Structure 1
Amino acid sequence: MTPATDTPDRPRRLVLWCPDWPVVAAAQEGGFGPLVPAAVFAANRVVACSATAREAGVRRGMRRREAQGRCPELLVHEHDPARDARCFERVVLAVEALVPGVEVVRPGLLAMPVKGPARYFGGEESAAERLVDEVEARIGVECLPGIADGFFAAVLAARRGAVVEPGGSAEFLAPLGIEELDQLPAHEVDGGLVDLLRRLGIGTLGGFAALPAADVLTRFGAVALVAHRAAAGLEERPALRREPPPDLAVTEQLDPPVERVDAAAFAAKVLADRLHAELAERGLACTRLAISARTENGEELRRVWRCADPLTPAATADRVRWQLDGWLNSRRGEPRPTAGISVLGLFPDEVVGAGALQLDLLDAATGEADARAGRAFARVQGMLGPDAVLTPVLGGGRDQRDRVRFVRWGDERRPALEPEHPWPGRLPAPSPSVLPESPWPVDVLDAEGAPVGFTERHRLTAAPHRVVAGGRSREVTGWAGPWPVAERWWVELLAVGELTPASQVPPRSVARVQVVLAPDAAGPEADEVALLLVHEGERWWGHGAYR
């Protein structure tokens, strides 16, 4: 029997991770099997994909057009956090049938103290195996267990299906790459920290943990100190937490009882506002929230959400809505309430000082208009989901589409690629003012009506004279370029043999041209228009317009 010992800075954790959960949730509601190549997209980028899609070359962060090009039979689903939480409720119920005190970190990830299950099932490994078997037997979902000292180490252990011996988290984390810090929530690690540490020659978590904490705080700031504690196998936040006052719990009697999720979500919004008003008066913020609901027939639901970041009223209301959606709309024989919800309650199980939510002087001086807009955006997210309000972030890259990344309102506005890096081949200013959802095919002809192409040295075979798109032909009055880009050319130079997954991505060679088209008298607009044309795959594509 493996002993389960806790220390204040290294509480022993058991984590269950369901890989590719957004795809699994989409499969459960869509009715397709696990062998079907599928991917979930948000802002036209891959959020998660199935194992069969990965075998075809689909990767997270890939654009939809590229993913479908590598896997034409790819089944596409839009990201739906409510669906993820609703389907994950069945997994939580299966685990709670054996172990109380389960914390939902996010749909697809559960955490719990390991001491109790280890004593009951005869050891940590036995407890993990029993939970995995229970989830697979009842739900038919694969999950991986991880046990370690500290939450961050347990998450990385779950991604490897490993059990780390007590006191061995630091040794387990030490050889792992510094990029594993990306497993921390976005608000807990600076977007450029991993790249900065790599450029400083720190390539492993052990190398980062070896730095003195005082030097990390002085050089990189308080956010990096959180990542430093995690890399050392310590709890990501210090164990000194305040006990929530018992009178902070808020409940609401629903008369008449509600059976619809939207009606319950409205009551949850009122409760969330009341709870956070009480917390604000005491200078506190909630990091671990218990949601309770009781029906007229005495059926009860209680679920704990573990939140790495102090909750806001909108985030609290969202979690209540997702939880009630999973309970009221249970599927496939799972128990569901036999009556409407009559009592709804919120209980802050864990609180911290509200300093984590305070704005700095510069942010606080932006005015009431910004605050009203932020509240409006948060309300839209509460009604339609977190992906309903997106903010564009401009980053680096050669392609205009690669430079823009959409992030959820309220999340850190971190670019996908570092904008300060040199990007040879980047288009000169100005950038296109209109970028279509997907490029459209065009024909570029010379003065003789022959197609214009490119030589092996990326030279135009003739000057563009006419552009044909959508059955309409317009004369070219001016053009600039070309700007060629050869990406991943080194793949062709690799020796024949087993390649790494990164080397399996084929090379890409494109050339861009800007053209100005003469006014079209037959069209609704009589002004000149400029287009960004890209030559790729032996033909031309329209990638943007200048207006």
Structure 2
Amino acid sequence: MSLWIAVHLPLLQLEAFRPNWLGEAPAVVFERDRVSAVSARARAAGVHEGMRRGGAQLLCPHAHWHERDPLRETALLDEAALALLQYTPQVTLAEDACVLLDVGASLRLFGGIRALCRKVRITIARLGLSAVLSCGVTAAGAWMLARYGYVRTVRATSMRRRLDRLPVALLTAARPYLEWLHGLGVRRLGELRRLPRAGLQRRCGKAVLETMDQAYGEALELHNWVEAPPSFCARAELPDRIDHTDILATYAQRLLAQLAGWLAARQLAVKQLRLLLEHERGRQAVPPTELVLALSVPAWQEEHLHALIKEKLSRSSLPAPAIAMSLAAGALEAMEPASELLFPEPGGSAEDHHRLIELLVARLGPEQVLQAAPRADHRPEVANRWCGVMQDAGALSAPLPADAGRLPPRPLWLLDEPVPLRLQRHKPWYRTPLEFASPPERIEAGWWEGRPVTRDYFTVHDAHHVYYWIFRQWTGGEQPDQEPQWFLHGLFG
């Protein structure tokens, strides 16, 4: 069964793009010198739709005035539709600034209709907007309920009862005939449905009956689905000159919400993001600042990407305040579906580990987070090298022999330089006498480099049961009259 969510964005909000104005100060939108939309405070002052500009300015002189810009409205609606693609691939645009989502196949994935509506509201809020949400089993029915007010219904019978109570003026095709319908005493959709269909069609045409039948689920609905563009690059104008990175990270959520919808629609994951901060133009122009965010593994989660961008911005210094920002996605790969284990690991999944590494890289820098690149060499100081965690350790390391796993235990902490140990009563001494806990392990290597090494390694412990890794260095052949040298090389955890 289909279930639709209608997201209605008020016209006044699309033009002003400052939701807080709707409650703090009167706001009016004009179209050809006529009032097209008003806020609650402006309506309380006597301003209403259809009023001329002079009368509205006389009644509410301190209001914020806006000219209707269809291109701006279309751009904001396209941004909202692109961001909402992360919840369903079936998204379409409707009249009166409304976005429709067919979420019948997405309810189980997002935890039900209540949780899904909550996520949709959060996404709309990250775009800097607020919306009226409604649910219905038909697209036209959900669209009409959203324009009238927030109602959530998932059953056809209850939706029909609510539609019967809606005013006839919500039907766009019936607006030219409102005076005639009101003269007949028809003011609600339920009363309109009781009229003879043949006479209503002769008087008002087929459009009224078709729209009404589609809302009640008695006729098929056809939609033009929103398609994600082949590449992603979004831009946002900032309301003022901003140099605080925390505020910039908040505005970056508007771009990341669109990116999340685009990645979900294209079934892609991103490995590199480019955030471009634009500064002052004109005579005092400052070149834009480009921030490149590289990820170790492809990601598409909006919260994770926002955390990385926030850390990246906090570590960056801006030459001048930013007036706009743009976001571009690069190094795209196919999205890997998430796999749920029957018994998940207590330490988290591999994705959680990669997210932690990327967050540390964004916070500390790529040169401060290292990983091991082992080499096929028996000498401990040569058997490993450290490289950046964003580099490919497999390309820098040599393949290990098959029997590497059968070697004796190695300490987690290896000293940069071995520490000489003194002997007392023919035993090595480090703070306390050291007792041997393992047989010797002979390592002879380095002869091919002209620096031969001959050592016997032991695992020992002191009086406090702290375990160390020491070796006996032979400078020449084993001679009875020659005392070997002892060194501390590692500590066990």
After TM superposition, the score normalised by the length of structure 1 is: 0.40
After TM superposition, the score normalised by the length of structure 2 is: 0.44
